[in-house]
């Protein structure tokens, strides 16, 4: 495995941004998707950066860098898929980055084990345009799209008219 691939590391709870900084300081390319959220305290409101995938950080590494990542403080292990470290396609990372750069994005995540597969759809609007996926659940304007290699569900809010069932 000489080529670099995106993989997912599992971090200690609430350590995602710290791990991202530690890996960056070791010259490891990594990505910790965040969103700006307004939080209300009893005396004030504040906008904070909130991690989207809790306890996950994406790393773009080759086989020789695996030990460096595992020897990083607060990194627990890699996320495995079929008994090997899960490899995330570049297009999936690019899609997440593009989507998060859109204006007024609403995102939350859930573990995909909570849902049963439902309907295959094609997205016909926005950065997900022409992507195919499985709607795991939908209500009002929310469509739950499975990112299979992560075993995560990204909750994406857009009009149901932007999704076409595949026949």
Token code pair at residue 107: 């995102």
Degrees to nearest 5, angle at CA 19 with 7 and 94 = 40
Architecture field, domain 103-165: Roll (2.30)
Indicate the helix (H) or strand (E) that contains 98. helix 90-101
pLDDT tens digit string along 39-69? 888 899 888 888 988 899 999 999 899 999 9
Q: What is the pLDDT of residue 1?
A: 46
Q: What is the pLDDT of residue 17?
A: 96
Task: Select from 45, 68, 69, 46 the least CA-distant residue to 57.
Answer: 69
Euclidean distance between CA atoms 135 and 143, whole angstroms = 6
Euclidean distance between CA atoms 167 and 160, whole angstroms = 17
Least confident residue range of 74-78, 85-89, 108-112: 108-112
Mean local confidence (pLDDT), 139-164: 64
Indicate the domain borders of the chain.
5-88, 103-165
CATH of 5-88 given 3.30.450.40, 3.30.70.940, 3.40.30.10, 3.30.565.10? 3.30.70.940
pLDDT tens digit string along 104-133? 666 666 554 444 456 777 776 676 677 777
Euclidean distance between CA atoms 10 and 86, whole angstroms = 11
């Amino acid at each position: 495995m000489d080529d670099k691939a995106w993989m997912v590391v599992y971090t200690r709870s609430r350590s995602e941004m710290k791990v991202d900084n530690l890996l960056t300081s070791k010259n490891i390319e990594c990505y910790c998707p965040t969103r700006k959220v307004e939080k209300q305290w009893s005396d004030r409101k504040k906008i904070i950066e909130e991690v989207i995938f809790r306890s996950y950080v994406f790393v773009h590494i080759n086989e020789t860098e695996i030990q460096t990542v595992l020897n990083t403080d607060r990194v627990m292990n890699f996320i495995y898929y079929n008994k090997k470290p899960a490899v995330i396609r570049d297009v999936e990372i690019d899609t997440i980055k593009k989507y998060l750069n859109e204006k007024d994005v609403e995102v939350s995540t859930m573990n995909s084990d909570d849902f049963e597969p439902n309907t295959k759809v094609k997205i016909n609007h926005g950065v997900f345009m022409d992507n195919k996926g499985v709607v795991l659940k939908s209500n009002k304007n929310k469509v739950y799209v499975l990112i299979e290699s992560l075993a995560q569900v990204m909750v994406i809010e857009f009009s149901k008219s932007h999704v076409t069932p595949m026949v």
